[in-house]
Homo-oligomer: A and B are copies of this chain.
Amino acid sequence: MGIVIVGSVALDTVETPAGRVDEAVGGAATYASLAAALLTRPVSVVGVVGGDFPDEHLSMLQARGVDIGGIERAEGRTFRWVGRYHDDMVGRDTLDTQLNVFADFRPHIPEALRTESHLFLANIQPGLQFSVLDQMDRPEVTLLDTMNFWITGALTELRRVMARVDVLVVNDEEARMLTGHRSIHEAGRALLDLGPRFAVVKKGEHGANLYGPDGLFLCPAYPVTDVVDPTGAGDSFAGGLIGSLAGASTLSPESLRRAMVVGTAVASFCVEGFGVQGLLRADRAGLQERYQRLRELTGIPPL
C-alpha cells in the first residue's frame, strides 16, 4: 500500500495581496506529496528538476517522509512559474512560464514503484499520463487531474486516460468544458460518462462536489479567514484525498466522502501560508481537528 505521484516539481514566484515569494519550491507533485505524506506512507514522487534545483528542497521533502528516488535531475534549468493573484484571491494572471527541463519530461516509473497501490496523475500532458498507467502494475486506485490547456489541445488523448482512471478531479470550469453542460450538477454527472468511476468537481472557496454511482456528496470548504496564497490548494486537496484513500480498505462512497473532507482540511492549511509553508505547519492532530470542525459546521439536525 503506497502512493506514486507523477507531476511537476517547480520553482514558483508568486505575488498575492498578502505578499510575495520568490523561487519557492512548488509544482503539483510537491504539494500533493507533502499533503499525502501527512496521511500515509510511503509516498513517492516521479518528476524532474534541473541542475539548479536547491538540494534543501529535496531534503525538505525527504524530511517530510516523501520518497524522492523517482525525481530525476536533468541537465538544464528547473520548471519556473510566475503568477499574480487578484484582490479576490481567486483570479490570477500567469506572468511567465518557463518549462525548461519539464518540457522534455518523460516519466519513468522505477521498478520498485510499479506495484504500488495508489497513483495520482497530477496535471501533465495526457499522453504522458497514459504512459504512466501502462508502466504501473494495476494500481487499486488511480486519481487524475488535468487542466483547460489539455482539454482544448489534447482531448483525444485525455479521453483515453479518463476512461482508465477511478477518480477524476477537475474544477468547475473544466467540468463545463469537458461536458458542455452549464449546470454544475449536470456537468458532474456527465463526467462519469467519460469513464471515471467517480468525479470530483472543485469549486475553490465554495467547496467541492463528488459524483459517483451512488449519487452526490456536497463537501464544504473549510472556513479559512486569512488566505495568504492559494497556489497549490487543488494539488494539496488531491494529495490529501489520495492519502486518505490509501489508508482506507476500499474505494467506497464512505471512504471517498472521508477523503474529500480530509483533502479539504489539508488544502485549508496550504492556503494559509506562501508556497508550501502552510502545508508544513499541518500535522495529523491539526487535520483531525479541522475534519471534526467541518462535521460540526455542516451538521443538519433531524427535521
Contact = CB atoms under 8 A, between A and B. Distances in A.
A103 interface: no
B216 A223 contact: yes
Nearest to A299: B257
A223 B185 contact: yes
A299 to B, nearest CB: 7
Contacts of A215: 297
Interface stretch (A77-85, A122-130, A152-160, A286-294): A286-294
A254 interface: yes
Nearest to A215: B297
B225 A300 contact: no
A222 B301 CA distance: 16
A225 B189 CA distance: 11
A75 B104 CA distance: 78
Contact of A186 (B87, B225, B303): B225
Interface in A139-185: 182-185
Nearest to A223: B185
Interface residues of A, number: 38
A288 to B, nearest CB: 6
A18 to B, nearest CB: 11
Contact of A257 (B254, B288, B300): B300
A190 to B, nearest CB: 11
B182 A297 contact: no
A88 B206 contact: no
A75 to B, nearest CB: 45
Contacts of A254: 301
A251 interface: no
Contacts of A294: 300
A26 interface: no
Nearest to A292: B303
A285 B195 CA distance: 36
A298 B210 CA distance: 11
A106 interface: no
A289 to B, nearest CB: 10
30 contacts: A87-B182, A88-B182, A183-B225, A183-B226, A185-B224, A186-B225, A203-B206, A206-B206, A206-B207, A215-B297, A217-B298, A218-B220, A218-B223, A218-B298, A220-B220, A254-B301, A257-B299, A257-B300, A258-B300, A258-B303, A261-B300, A262-B303, A288-B303, A291-B300, A291-B303, A292-B303, A294-B300, A295-B300, A298-B298, A298-B300
Interface of A: 87-88, 182-186, 203, 205-207, 215-218, 220, 223-227, 254, 257-258, 261-262, 288, 291-292, 294-295, 297-303
8 closest A-B pairs by beta carbon, nearest first, are: A206-B206, A295-B300, A218-B220, A185-B223, A218-B297, A254-B301, A218-B298, A291-B303
